Each structure stands twice: as C-alpha cells, then as structure tokens.
Amino acid sequence: MASNDVITLDGVNKSYKLGRIRVPALENVTLTIARGEFIAIAGPSGSGKTTLLNLIGCVDKPDAGRIVIDDVDVTPIPLHRLAALRLNTLGFIFQTFNLIPVLSAYENVEYPLLLQNVSRRERDARVRHWLGEVGLSEQLKQRPDQLSGGQRQRVAIARAMVTEPKLVLADEPTANLDSDTATHILDLLAEINARTGCTFVFSTHDASLIARAQTVIRIKDGRVDDILAARAA
C-alpha cells in the first residue's frame, strides 16, 4: 500500500566542486512531502533550492543520505535507469520553459506520451484535453517561437501534466514572466493541484508565489531553515 508521503529525504548532503574547492549545496536535509500538497521551496539565490529540486527530480544524485520518491528508494539507482520513473511519476516545469523549438505546442505535449507508447487516439485526446485546460486550444500548431512567454509556460504545464504524474516539480516557474502572467500561471497551477490531487513542489523567491503555497520550506545556506504551514491555496 502506498504511503501518504510522495517524497522523503533523509540526511541528504550534496556538494559541488568549484575548482579545487568543494562547495556544500545541501547539508543534512531531512523532510517529507505528503501527496497532494502545493509546496514552495523558498530561499535566496544560491541557497540550494534548485539543487533540492534536482535531487527530488532524479536528475542529480546526493553525496549522502536517502531519497524516496513515490515509495521507491532512488538513492542506489543510477540516473540513467531512473528515466522510466521520471517519465511516469514526475512532471517538470522549467523557469525557461524548455520547450522543443522544432515541435509545435501539440507535439511538445505529445512527446512524453510517445515515450510511454500511448495509443494514437488516446494521445490525441489527452493532448487536446490538457492544451484546452491551459487555454491553448487555438494554438495547437504554433511553435514555441510563435507563442508568448505565458503561453510557452502553459504548454510546459500541459506537457508536465499530460502523463498524469504524481509529482510536478517547477523550478522558478514564474521568474521569466510579467506579474499578471505569473498570477495567471499560479492560479492555473493551484487549480490543477486542487482538481487532480497531484503534488506540486516549486522553488521560488517570489513573495506572491510563496503566499499561495500550502506549505513553505525555507532553505538557507543549504539547510532547511524552517517549514511553515501557510494559508491554503
């Protein structure tokens, strides 16, 4: 039976080599995140937010400690063997949108479903559904360079959600957007979280975004400084 925690970090350490010096990025991080939460990882630049998201997202490995994602202890598994877990369990939203420039909005959202070998009919239904959910039903054939920043991030959200992941990780999802667009994107993420029960973890130092989170994990100098249960989204 699945536990209620979708993420468990236990004594996680991570450092980077900068020339000859090892710079600690995370030190002894221990936390759990329950399913369905809408969580902000907050902290100043360089505090370790992105490193923490990378470790949770199984795109980087810790130096020490243990990480469990959706009841799978990913710590001993090489990253290239975690491709299936990233594909089926996680969704990613990037600060710079990271859409595939040669693919249309439709094809960008369709891509992960192709990796999952989903049938053509179901792919079409799911892609159209999620592009409709993010308000881009009319922009299916547009390529990223024909879309605004907000529209690109909406495509990225649809791409993250189309595989019906258990956990969506968003690294500074509104940092490259104007405040109005950022508010709309936030509303969209919160609404999806409420409707689907998918867990959202996003890094930010944007006060308005932090204010929308159910829980805020404050990181300072690579350590968990505080975990606050904020107001409901």
Partner 1 sequence: MLIKLALRNVLRNGRRSSITLVVIVFGAVALILFGGYKARTFWGLRESTIRGRIGHLQIFKKGASKAEAHKPLEYALDDATSIRKQVERDPRVKMTAAQITLMGLVSNGEKSETFIATAVEPAKDREMNNQKITAGSDLPDNEPDAILIGRGLAQSMHVKPGDYLTLMTTTVAGSLNAMDVRIAGVFTIGIKDYDDRAVKMPIAGAQTLLQTKTVEKLLVFLNNTEDTEAVHNAFLAHLSGVEIKEWSELAPFYHQVVGLYNGIFGFLGIVVFAIVVFSVANTILMSVLERTREIGTLMAMGTTRGRLRAMFVAEGVSIGIIGGVLGLAIGGGLAFLINHGNVMLPPPPGYTTGYRLQIMMQPAVLLTAFLVSFVTATISSIVPAMKASRLKIVDALGHI
Counting Cβ atoms within 10 Å, is residue 158 exposed (0-12), middle (13-18) or buried (19+)? buried
Residues 19-78 binding partner 1 (CB under 8 A) are 54, 57, 59-60
> 158 is written with which tokens?
């649809």
CB neighbour class for 94 (10 Å; exposed up to 12, middle 13-18, buried from 19):
middle
Q: Residues 159, 166, 212, 218: which binds partner 1 (CB under 8 A)?
A: 159
Shortest reach from residue 89's CB to partner 1, in Å: 9
Query: One symbol per residue from 67 to 106: x for binding partner 1 (CB under 8 A), - otherwise; what is it?
Result: ------------xx--xxxxxx-x-x-x-x-x-xxxx---
- Pairwise CA distance, residues 200 & 188, whole Å: 12
Of the pair 98, 183, the CB lying nearest partner 1 is at 98
Query: How many whole angstroms separate alpha carbon 103 and alpha carbon 140?
Result: 10
| Alpha-carbon span 91 to 72, nearest angstrom | 16
Tokens 């990233």 sit at which residue? 86
User: Which of 37, 70, 110, 133 forms a contact with partner 1 (CB under 8 A)?
Assistant: 110
Q: How far is the CB of 151 from partner 1 (least distance, A)?
A: 18
For residue 151, the one-letter residue type is Q
Looking at 64-72, 109-117, 133-141, 207-215, which segment touches partner 1 (CB under 8 A)?
109-117
Q: Is 173 in the site for partner 1 (CB under 8 A)?
A: no
Residue 207: phi and psi, rounded to 5, are -60, -35
User: Which residues are at the interface with partner 1 (CB under 8 A)?
Assistant: 54, 57, 59-60, 79-80, 83-88, 90, 92, 94, 96, 98, 100-103, 107, 110-112, 114-115, 159
